[in-house]
Structure 1
Amino acid sequence: MQAIQELKKSLLVSIWFMFLTFPLMVVRVNTIENTVEWRWMNMVYVIIGSFVLSFLWRWAMRRKETVKDEPTTAEARPTFTDRLASDKRFSYAVYGSILAVCTIMPLLVSTYQTNIFISFLLYVILGLGLNIIVGVAGLLFLGHAAFYAIGAYTYALLNHYFGIGFWVALPIGGVMAALAGVALAFPVLRLRGDYLAIVTLGFGEIVRLVLENWSDVTGGPSGISSIHRPGLFGQELSVAGANVYIYYIVLIMAIITIIAVQRLKDSRIGRALQALREDEIACQAMGIDRVNTKLMAFGLGTAWAGFAGVIFAAKTTFINPASFTFFESAIILSIVVLGGMGSNLGVILGSAFLVLMPEYLRAFSEYRMIMFAVAMVLMMIFRPQGLIAPKGKKYTVDDPDLAHEGGKA
């Protein structure tokens, strides 16, 4: 009986949706020939699609409520991420296999595919850097593209005016972005939530407008071209060879970023950042310096954006302010939220979803933004913690007597 009721509801939804979309999907006016085309098959597609989606939606909502009501047991079957965290042999095998595939990837695919994977790894670095600020420290940050631009323009200007090479400019770009992040952190130390997001969004737009209007130095909207690629012991590389070389640079940089961010989360600084995220007042009451902790969060998170910006400038050999709009900041933040705030593996999967999937779904290029929006809505409803939720540390007592006393207490 319940199934029949659900079918009736889905049927009513499909009919109602048909009436709403009828002028757009069925009627088409040909202004050249002054005729009206009736696309009746589109109406059939709308009815069938809305009926199926409505039925699946209701099933998913019922499933969500059922899973929520089920009691959790300690003997539940461990998930894939649980095994990665607990079983070192399994995690070494998985990570080793992934590293082996990534190492031989540019030797097996075309230059175009290599460029796609370079972009993917760059967004992994950017996402992990923002994850320190948003996921670990819990600070809502909407201007990450500004520090991406600072790193890129640092290398472009140093190379254009002073002839400084990539390897010298790489640490300088990270330091400049970190200093800019610390400078931004000082006036916003007392802000949190939406107010902090608005200020960082404004800072991102200020940086973009300065780069766009300071034509004498930055080239304005025309940007800076002929940026040198990284050298390999003084050898001249072809375009394909340079792409492969940059791919390995980005891969090594991404591995370093993953290890550094993971070690940071387990360090004393990382514990302070997580305490700041949970409760800022309690954090300060426990003796943690709130000012220095926030400055560390901004400095460490934006430094990785600077490194990624230097590599981006070397990869494209041309940059302009149009590459560092608010849309870039939104994409990077979406990667962190979609993957799971505070989870390194989640950021990598989020980057794959938002960077790799659109490239391999170019057949649906007209509907990519719709698919992206639908995916975000579904994630917020069914998986608000992200694809892979971060798991806290579990501490066990080795002494059975102490464990027994703790259980009695």
Structure 2
Amino acid sequence: MRKRILILAVILIIYAIFTLGMKVGIIDDYIKLNILLILLNIILATSLNLISGITGQFSLGHAGFMAIGAYTVAVLITLPKPLPFYLSLLIGGVFAAFAGLIIGLPVLRLRGDYLAIATLGFAEIIRVVIQNIDYLGGASGISDIPQGIDWTGYYVIAILTIIILSNIINSSYGRAMVAVREDEIAAETIGINTTLFKVLAFVIGAFFAGIGGGMYAGYFGFIQPDIFNFFKSIDILVMVVLGGLGSLSGSIIAAIVLTIVSTLLQNVPAVRMVLYSIILIIIMLFRPQGLLGKREIRLSDILSFQRRGV
């Protein structure tokens, strides 16, 4: 109980510090924008980690699920009688989860590279279909989307995402997913429905990717198909691999680091992709398990580190 109160206090203190900084102008609009991108990438990276890290299913379809959530929100809040933003966001997440179910049932029979190619194909199909629908703005996308979310919404949803995913991972469902990752055949022999848990992870990950896409649309006010291309899926995957497949803490740290790096290199996108490639090569050669591997940073670790420092 004491641990939970302490965690809640830390969450509230961080929120208060950043909110105060934004109000007094210490955190300007540019810094705020990058903070929101970090929170968005945390949602995307942790949700993909449930699929690829915890359950061991190599997916490159996250950008497609993002696109479904983003376009659902954009359409629903620009109707003549628009729906409330957060209701639209939830619907976008549900639509993305449904797409995850539809694509997950057939493709999760595949493994490894074949699964990655199948999910990548799905994401590209979604992008091309959207690009060819005039009602959705075609290649030009949808602009003038009303802003329905700000710093508080981003922060709360990011925290809720981490809490929900952490609870899932530490539950019996999460342990079943880990069993599927470690040895699918052995998991089946002890009575685990491997197909069920693979699809469940895929659906949950797709839901949060859809939520992330809707948040993007609701803050930035403009979306187009090319935002959700192959490179977006690669961006998210690099965060997961860098942080450690199976570690939520690692995904959070990697999302923070790579978002900052991406911002610093935004004027030279070609260099950014080269750097990402180099990072992946270095990780595979010297730290294939990622920064944290499957380990999580816990409050007790931080407190013990502080005591050693003192």
CA deviation string 1:303-362 (max 9, x = no partner): 001111111111111111011000000000000001111111111111122111232456
Match of 1:138, SS?
A: coil
TM-score normalised to structure 1 length = 0.66
The TM-score with structure 2 as length reference comes to 0.87
CA–CA separation in structure 1 for the residues paired with 2:120 and 2:267: 33
For 2:15 and 2:74, the matched residues in 1 are separated by 31
| Superposed CA offset, 1:59-106 (max 9, x none) | xxxxxxxxxxxxxxxxxxxxxxxxxxxx99997887676555444443
Amino acid at match of 1:226: D
Q: 2:22 aligned with 1:106, yes or no? A: yes
Determine if the alignment matches structure 1 residue 169 to structure 2 residue 88.
yes
Q: What is the correspondence of 1:60-71 to structure 2 with a 5 Å cutoff?
A: none
- Give the distance between the partners of 1:366 and 1:274, measured in 2 at CA: 36
The answer to whether the 8 A contact 1:174-1:307 is kept is: yes
Higher relative contact order (CA 8 A, sep 6+): 2
1:2-401 matches, within 5 Å, as: 98=14, 101-107=17-23, 108-161=26-79, 162-215=81-134, 217-230=135-148, 246-360=150-264, 367-391=271-295
Aligned letter for 1:316? F
1:106 is matched by which residue type in structure 2? M
CA distance in structure 2 between the aligned counterparts of 1:96 and 1:226, rounded to whole angstroms: 33
Contact 1:166/1:228 (<8 A) preserved: no
Cα deviation, 1:9-57, whole Å, max 9, x if unaligned, reads: xxxxxxxxxxxxxxxxxxxxxxxxxxxxxxxxxxxxxxxxxxxxxxxxx
Tell me the percent identity: 42
Equivalent residue letter for 1:147: F
Residues 124, 351 of structure 1: 8 Å contact kept = yes
Aligned mates of 2:268, 2:229 — CA distance in 1: 24
Which stretches in structure 1 are left out of the alignment for 5+ residues? 1-86, 231-244, 393-409
Distance 2:227 2:292 in 1: 29
- Which structure's CA Rg is the greater one? 1
How many residue pairs are counted as aligned between the two chains? Answer: 291
Does the residue aligned with 1:160 lie in a helix, a strand or coil?
A: coil
Q: Which residue of 2 aligns with 1:31?
A: none
Range 370-379 or range 149-158, more displaced:
370-379
Structure 2: how far apart are the matches of 1:179 and 1:255? 23
Q: Distance in 2 between matches of 1:362 and 1:198?
A: 28
Q: How far apart in 1 are the matches of 2:7 and 2:286?
A: 27
